[in-house]
Structure 1
Amino acid sequence: MSWLQDPATIQCLYIVAFALFIYGLMGLTGPRTAVRGNLIAAVGMAIAVLATALTPGMGNWWLILLGIALGTAVGVPAARKVKMTAMPQMVALFNGVGGGAVALVAWVEFRQSNGFTGEPLYVSIATLFAAVVGSVSFWGSNVAFGKLQEILPGRPITVGRMQQPLNLLLVLITLFCGVAVVAGGTSELLMIGLLVASALLGVAVVLPIGGADMPVVISLLNAFTGLSAAATGIALNNTALIVAGMIVGASGSILTNLMAKAMNRSIPAIVAGGFGGDGTTASASGGPTDKTVRRTSASDAAIQMSYARQVVVVPGYGMAVAQAQHAVREMAKELEAKGVNVYYAIHPVAGRMPGHMNVLLAEADVPYEQLKEMDEINGEFARTDVALVIGANDVTNPAAHTDPGSPIYGMPILNVNESRSVIVLKRGMSHGFAGVDNELYYDPRTSMLFGDAKKSVSQVVEELRAL
């Protein structure tokens, strides 16, 4: 076993591990290779764990095995049984667990080294950074989970004008405790104060964020967890942890920036909170003066789409809630058999997590080439005969272009109102995450098909088969 515990052997295993991380991440760029990419990355993680276990001086094997067993017993059933509608909550929760683990490791390192006594300066700074960011990620992710699970209200929860001063105070307390430790303080109260202040900061930052911004927040917290893990890797001199953490941190940061741009909002504005779910019932300028909606039936919708040249399906959270993706795929097959071109318009922040709609449609075996991102599909709406909107609210609201008084003004949207006809599937006239009325519903070219999305689409499928 001596050659297995040789430092060169361990470093080689780490190199193999993070090479598999990178190769696995490449597979996540498309639904056809995503499962394989996940498996490759999982093999890389298994190799990294093995390399860590081979490190000389590693002990407490029963505790390590107990931790692996408990994690497997909780994680595997949860991942297998979770519904796609609850996937954003699970992602937020699992991401938070990673941040919490990093914070606990930092605390243990502080205790074992008696306040980093005799440790290089970079070790104490990296460990404290990991503790702060990991704690913020853990508690912020738990708040995000509570909002998505509707344990907490989805609307912004703030203390009014005192919100930003409160955040600043928590930042200063965190910095004070961190500087005191770096300066030589060995009192455990300093570390506990740092962890508690950063925990309260994570809660205080995420509570004021409304539901409309939640996909961006999940991505941002994911990036935080990655950065904290990388900092822990620096402190522990663990190559695999550094590389894995930086991959997660970098990819999460890039995704967060892309999603913020898709909403035409800056990341600081999102962190400042206050957007979405505030209960506003109309835009500041009053929105459309004609509040009449036009109802349609499954048979009329089927006739309209069967004679169309091109139909664009616009999925949103309503499709996820109803688990209607398989019915939508059946409807598309019927339309394609009649010579109708069918595409799917994907807004970057549709649903409750990044890529939510892509995952749902991939699950229903929708061909990847039919999924069109916002920039690609917006030019097609003017040539589209029927746009079928399934629960997508804020991302189709023309007020983003027409109403300067609307809270979503300036947000890039899917231009479904340019289609010759629009059919909206909804249970009722409830608002989206942003809490504002959708002007699209009152457009003369729009008709509403009320009811559960899965049942409505299934009825449309039956009508298409009868034509």
Structure 2
Amino acid sequence: MAWAQTLQTLIDACYFIAALLFILGLKRMSSPRTARGGIVWAGFGMLLAVVATLLLPDMQHRGLIIAAVLIGVAAAWWSGRRVAMTAMPQMVALYNGMGGGAAAAIGASELIGHAQDFAIAAPNTFPLMPESWSPLHGATSVVPLSPVALALGVLGALIGSVSFSGSLIAFAKLQGWLDRRLVFPGQQVVNLLVLAAAVGIGVWLATGHLTIALVCAFFVFALLFGLLMTLPIGGADMPVVISLYNAFTGLAVAFEGYVLQNEAMIIAGMVVGAAGTLLTQLMAKAMNRSIGNVLFGNFGATSNAAAQTIDGSQKPVEAADAAVMMAYAERVVIVPGYGMAVAQAQHKVWEFAQLLIARGVKVKFAIHPVAGRMPGHMNVLLAEAGVPYDLIADMEDINPEFPVTDVALVIGANDVVNPMAKTDPASPIYGMPILDVADAKQVIVVKRGKGTGFAGIENALFYADNTRMLYGDGQAAAGQLVSELKSLDA
């Protein structure tokens, strides 16, 4: 008995240390300088929590659990090293979906296990469940299943299922396997009915009416709602959606942790849920849109603003002229976007910036909160190329400097620099905070063609009098700028 108490104390201490590592790791992730260390800290916390869980006295099937962990670690290591930075957003969506699916699977195991025992022993009795069953501990002695635990188990299963199926759709959209939006007449009514069915069955289950058929129907409707809710959302909203589903996954894990009485799951889930919720709110604010508008609005649909003709014309410029403009400028601001990531041009862009700095030009990089397809995407790309953190400025800090900027170089960015967000009330992005690139004295835009951005909206910046278009692949164009700038010093 004394050994059992000592072991349980040791496990509880490991969970406490793991929770501290989760929180401290998340705190360190708030700064690019310490983010890598934060990930390592949180990783050690998760390793400690897993090892402590395996030490539980009544743990069953340790061999299978360890095998599953090793397979998962190997798959994540392999995919993490092979996936390009341009595909990182969809990878995050996929992994987030796996977390939600895991929480849903725990809920399914609990509900189905109790439903089987319930049907055999006492079909109309609640909350006592003979032979209470747990995916972590296997069959145990008679344990009462409290109404709170059952309700949270059902709620966690619902949220996890929505996060799982919704994240898979987000992955498919970002990967280009699905159209950006899929809508049909009466879609929101259908979605509401599917959600009502899932919630209604869930409430019935939570009141103790556990049957295999009802549990299966509950998961069918929950998974279907995740699919239907995500299909009509435009690709430009995917960063917000991924963040929201991340919060969902955290909450689902926390609820299932309560059902399993696992402190590490509860703390980790709540930390992830809180962080994901805060990030979702910040991103929605950066787009000047409510979360409800993201989920149920029509952003990304063809609109009058997207289809209207903009006065003026796009004026091309040669790489040699663009290089000269920036070589003799006093201040240059470089605005990267997803196009730079696709072209893998970050290294050439930094090489060009270094040449400008060597000539005495003051260079900064401007990052919009939702640049790319996930938060921090551009920051990671620039860090990968070796750009110092003190040269990277957020939108709030850099916007006042555009009026005194001689040249703004936009490479791959589109919707986040579109002045229609301030000038055209009919535009779907009207009111969204943008980088005030149009206020610079001269603007050079590197773009492959004359098409619209990811949101499908025409950009008035490209037609402005102070804008010149440098057409071509981002890496090739950056390479040309480097060559031209070097030739000036030859």
TM bucket (normalised to shorter chain) is: over 0.9
**CA contact under 8 A between 1:283 and 1:405: conserved in structure 2?**
no
Offset at residue 193 of structure 1 (A): 1.2
Task: For 2:182, give the aligned amino acid.
Answer: I
**CA contact under 8 A between 2:254 and 2:268: conserved in structure 1?**
yes
Q: Does 1:274 find its partner at 2:298? A: yes
Distance 1:356 1:398 in 2: 22
Q: 2:167 aligns with which of 136, 141, 157?
A: 141
Unaligned runs of 5+ in 2: 119-126, 130-143
**CA contact under 8 A between 1:27 and 1:37: conserved in structure 2?**
yes
Q: Secondary structure of 1:32's match?
A: coil
**CA contact under 8 A between 2:304 and 2:426: conserved in structure 1?**
no
Counterpart of 2:49 in structure 1 is 48
Q: Secondary structure of 2:375's match?
A: coil
Counterpart of 1:248 in structure 2 is 272
Distance 1:240 1:23 in 2: 15
Offset at residue 25 of structure 1 (A): 1.1
Counterpart of 2:140 in structure 1 is none
Counterpart of 2:221 in structure 1 is 197
Deviations 1:16-72 (A, max 9, x none): 111111111122122222211111111110110011111111010221122112212
Distance 1:414 1:421 in 2: 14
- 1:410-425, aligned counterparts within 5 Å? 410-425=431-446
Deviations 1:154-201 (A, max 9, x none): 2x21122x1111111111111121111122212111111111111011
Q: Secondary structure of 1:311's match?
A: strand
Q: Secondary structure of 2:446's match?
A: strand
- 1:140-179, aligned counterparts within 5 Å? 140-154=166-180, 156-160=181-185, 162-179=186-203
- 1:62-461, aligned counterparts within 5 Å? 62-114=63-115, 117=129, 118-154=144-180, 156-160=181-185, 162-276=186-300, 278-280=301-303, 282-283=305-306, 286-290=308-312, 292-461=313-482
Runs of 4+ aligned residues of structure 1 deviating over 6 Å after TM superposition are none
Distance 2:306 2:93 in 1: 31
Q: Secondary structure of 1:78's match?
A: helix
Deviations 1:305-354 (A, max 9, x none): 01111101111110110011111111111000011111111111111111
Distance 1:206 1:311 in 2: 40
Counterpart of 2:141 in structure 1 is none
Offset at residue 287 of structure 1 (A): 5.0
**CA contact under 8 A between 2:303 and 2:428: conserved in structure 1?**
no
Distance 1:72 1:183 in 2: 38
Offset at residue 4 of structure 1 (A): 8.5
Distance 2:402 2:331 in 1: 9
Offset at residue 229 of structure 1 (A): 0.6
**CA contact under 8 A between 1:223 and 1:248: conserved in structure 2?**
yes
Counterpart of 2:62 in structure 1 is 61
Deviations 1:61-89 (A, max 9, x none): 22112211221221110011110000001
Deviations 1:261-318 (A, max 9, x none): 1111000010104211x3558547x35322x211111111111001111101111110
Q: Secondary structure of 2:33's match?
A: helix
**CA contact under 8 A between 1:424 and 1:446: conserved in structure 2?**
yes
Distance 2:157 2:421 in 1: 40
Deviations 1:139-164 (A, max 9, x none): 0000000000000012x21122x111
**CA contact under 8 A between 1:4 and 1:54: conserved in structure 2?**
no
Deviations 1:428-466 (A, max 9, x none): 011112211111111111000011101111110111112
Distance 2:330 2:267 in 1: 49
Offset at residue 259 of structure 1 (A): 0.6
Task: For 2:359, give the aligned amino acid.
Answer: K
Q: Secondary structure of 1:425's match?
A: strand
Distance 1:282 1:247 in 2: 40
Distance 1:4 1:372 in 2: 53
Q: Secondary structure of 1:6's match?
A: helix
Distance 2:199 2:4 in 1: 44
Distance 2:93 2:184 in 1: 24
Distance 2:102 2:370 in 1: 29
Distance 1:191 1:173 in 2: 12
Counterpart of 2:137 in structure 1 is none
Task: For 1:258, give the aligned amino acid.
Answer: L
Distance 1:405 1:112 in 2: 54
Q: Taking every aligned residue pair, what percent have the same amino acid on both sides? A: 50
TM-score scaled by length of structure 1: 0.96
Unaligned runs of 5+ in 1: none
Larger deviation, residues 404-413 vs 87-96: 404-413
Task: For 1:244, give the aligned amino acid.
Answer: A
Deviations 1:352-409 (A, max 9, x none): 1111111111111111111111111111100100000011111111111111111111
Distance 1:51 1:405 in 2: 56
> What root-mean-square deviation, in Å, do the aligned CA atoms of Structure 1 and Structure 2 show?
1.5
**CA contact under 8 A between 2:158 and 2:219: conserved in structure 1?**
yes
**CA contact under 8 A between 1:424 and 1:447: conserved in structure 2?**
yes
**CA contact under 8 A between 1:408 and 1:434: conserved in structure 2?**
no
